[in-house]
A and B are shown apart, each in its own frame.
Chain A
Amino acid sequence: MAGNLAAVLGTGQTKHVAKREDVSIAGLVREAADRALEDAGLTYADIDAVVIGKAPDMFEGVMMPELYLAEALGAIGKPLIRVHTAGSVGGSTAIVATHLVQAGVHERVLTVAFEKQSESNAMWALSIKIPFSQPLVAGAGGYFAPIIRGYIRKADAPLDTGFQVVLKDRLNALKNPYAHLHQPDISMEQIVSSPLLWDPIRYAETCPSSDGAAAMVIGSEQAADASSRPVAWIHGTAVRSEPTMGAGRDRVNPHAGRDCAKAVYAAAGITDPFREIDCAEIYVPFSWFEPMWLENLGFAEEGTGWKLVQDGVTALDGDLPINMSGGVLSSNPIGASGMLRFLEVANQVRGTAGEHQVDGARKALGHAYGGGSQFFAMWVVGKDKP
Chain B
Amino acid sequence: MTAEPITGIVTPIRLDYTYTPGTAPSGFLRGMKEGRILGRRCPQCSKVYVPPRGSCPMCGVEFADEVEVADTGTLVTFAVVNVNFANRVIDLPYVSGEVRFDGSDTTSMVLVQGIPVDEVRMGMRVKAHWLPREEWDFTFANIDYVEPIDEPDADYDSYREFV
Contacts and interface: CB of A to CB of B under 8 A. Distances in A.
Q: Is chain B found bound to chain A in the same assembly?
A: yes
Interface in A110-129: 119, 121, 123-124, 127, 129
A197 B83 contact: yes
Interface string B50-88: 010000011000000000000000001111111111111
Interface string B72-110: 000011111111111110100110111000000110111
Contacts of B161: 248
Interface residues of B, number: 53
Nearest to A130: B19
Contacts of A123: 85-86
A33 B138 CA distance: 49
Interface stretch (A144-152, A305-313, A327-335, A350-358): A144-152
A146 B77 contact: yes
Interface string B128-152: 0000000000111101000000000
B29 A133 contact: no
Nearest to A252: B163
Interface stretch (A46-54, A134-142, A222-230, A375-383): A134-142
A192 to B, nearest CB: 16
Given A132-B25, A133-B109, A134-B110, A198 B81 contact: yes
B141 A142 contact: no
Contacts of B105: 247-248
Contacts of B83: 138-139, 141, 197-198
A104 interface: no
26 contacts: A21-B5, A21-B7, A61-B13, A127-B85, A127-B88, A129-B87, A131-B141, A132-B25, A134-B110, A138-B88, A145-B81, A145-B96, A146-B96, A149-B79, A154-B163, A196-B80, A197-B81, A197-B82, A198-B83, A199-B81, A200-B79, A246-B57, A247-B106, A248-B58, A248-B105, A248-B161
Contacts of A195: 82
A243 B57 contact: yes
B141 A134 contact: yes
A2 interface: no
Given A131-B19, A198-B82, 7 more contacts: A129-B87, A146-B77, A150-B77, A197-B83, A199-B79, A246-B57, A247-B49
B47 interface: yes
A22 interface: yes
Given A123-B85, A134-B111, A153-B122, A145 B58 contact: no
A146 to B, nearest CB: 4
Contacts, number: 131
B82 A196 contact: yes
Interface of A: 21-22, 61, 119, 121, 123-124, 127, 129-139, 141-142, 145-147, 149-150, 153-154, 195-201, 243, 245-249, 251-252
A149 B78 contact: yes
Contact of A132 (B28, B79, B85): B28
Given A138-B85, A145-B79, A150 B163 contact: yes
Given A147-B77, A149-B79, A199-B82, A247 B13 contact: no
A142 B140 contact: no
Nearest to A249: B58
Contacts of A197: 81-83
B115 interface: no
Q: Which of A121, A138, A200 has most B Cβ within 10 Å? A: A138
A323 to B, nearest CB: 24
B50 to A, nearest CB: 9
A375 B163 CA distance: 19
B3 interface: no
